[in-house]
Amino acid sequence: MDFIKFLGTAGARIVVAKQARASGGMWFSLAGTNLLVDPGPGSLVRCVTSRPKLDPNKLDGIVISHKHLDHAADINVMMEAMTLGGHDKKGVVLAPADALGGDDPIIYKYVRSYVGKIEVLKEKKKYKIGKIEIYAPVKHIHGVETYGLIIKSPSHTISYIADTKFFPELSSKYQDEILIINVLRPEPSPLDHLCLEDAKIIIKTIKPKTAILTHFGMWMIKRKPWEIAEELSKELKTEVIAARDGMMFELNN
């Protein structure tokens, strides 16, 4: 069975610091390939306490959209867990260049030798992990180098719009079927993040089969994301779901 497991749905520093929502990222199981995306704080714990349990050693790859802590704090420990501390050298890690080099890399040098391959995530480049193809369609507007993902298996296409300020070309770069959008706030703000109005524009343009909202800030949580998703479903005539910590979204094969 193919599925997406939401190990956490937290967005921004306060929600993560208070763990008002968990921040473990997303686990994709597609065509027998297991992929972890954006392992924020607590990702390892969320994996091993998941029901059913998710074994990190069964991962085939890990991707971080960018190096901010809410998306990448557990990248090193998950690389260790995927490879049993380097005893089972395997797996692919994809990360932007500034997560690997420069003055402030987030991936430790000593764990890099544990994995089978590390590749730099770049705009308009395709990658292969097991039976999954990953494509970074456009560089996002955020505080550090950031990319969303189009994840394709033989049966499914999933678009993940990671943290970004809205820009006109954004919607046209992503594809339909399943669309995951990081929606930090209900109202517009000067922060380089999407708000609800941005999400509406994106969903209207892409017309996915299902849109899943996640990465909630405190104001979104107070507004009850599940009620917002229900309202959007009626307004946009598209299935819109607010992700929950631990939610498993099953995909029909």
Q: What is the pLDDT of residues 117-147, one digit of tens each?
A: 999 999 999 999 999 999 999 999 999 999 9
Inform me whether the pLDDT recorded for 153 exceeds 80: yes
User: What's the pLDDT at 176?
Assistant: 82
Average pLDDT over residues 49-66: 98
Per the structure, the count of domains in the chain is: 1
User: What's the pLDDT at 230?
Assistant: 98
Residue 82, domain CATH: 3.60.15.10
Which domain does 115 fall in, by range?
Answer: 2-251
Q: What is the number of other CB atoms lying within 10 angstroms of the CB of residue 37?
A: 24
User: What's the pLDDT at 210?
Assistant: 98
Residue 113 CA, chain-centre distance (Å), reads 24
Can you count the helices (H) and strands (E) in the chain? 9, 15
CA-closest candidate to residue 245, choices 35, 66, 42, 94: 42
Inform me whether the pLDDT recorded for 12 exceeds 90: no
Burial of 201 (C-beta count, 10 Å sphere; 0-12/13-18/19+): middle
Q: What is the DSSP letter of 172?
A: G
Q: How far apart are CA 193 and CA 191, in angstroms?
A: 5
Burial 217-235 (b: 16+ CB within 10 A, else e): bbbbbeeebeebbeebbee
Grade residue 237 by pLDDT with cuts at 50, 70 and 90: very high
User: What's the pLDDT at 232?
Assistant: 97
Grade residue 155 by pLDDT with cuts at 50, 70 and 90: very high
User: In 3-state terms, what secondary structure has residue 123?
Assistant: coil
Between 191 and 135, where is the model more confident? 135
User: What's the pLDDT at 175?
Assistant: 83
Peptide bond into 39 cis (omega under 30): no
User: Does the predicted model carry a pTM greater than 0.95?
Assistant: yes
Q: What is the number of other CB atoms lying within 10 angstroms of the CB of residue 144?
A: 19
Cα atoms found within 13 Å of the Cα of residue 216, Cβ hemisphere only? 28
Grade residue 253 by pLDDT with cuts at 50, 70 and 90: low
Kind and range of the H or E run holding 77: helix 75-82
Strand ranges for the chain from DSSP E: 2-6, 26-30, 33-37, 61-63, 90-95, 115-120, 126-129, 132-135, 149-152, 157-161, 178-185, 194-195, 210-214, 239-242, 248-251
Burial of 69 (C-beta count, 10 Å sphere; 0-12/13-18/19+): middle
Q: What is the DSSP letter of 130?
A: T
- What is the residue-averaged pLDDT of the chain? 97
Decide: 208 and 177 in contact? Cβ < 8 Å: yes
The C-alpha torsion from 202 through 245 and 11 to 145, rounded to 10°, is: -70
What is the per-residue pLDDT across 73-121, written as a single tens digit (0 to 9) for each? Answer: 999 999 999 999 999 999 999 999 999 999 999 999 999 999 999 999 9
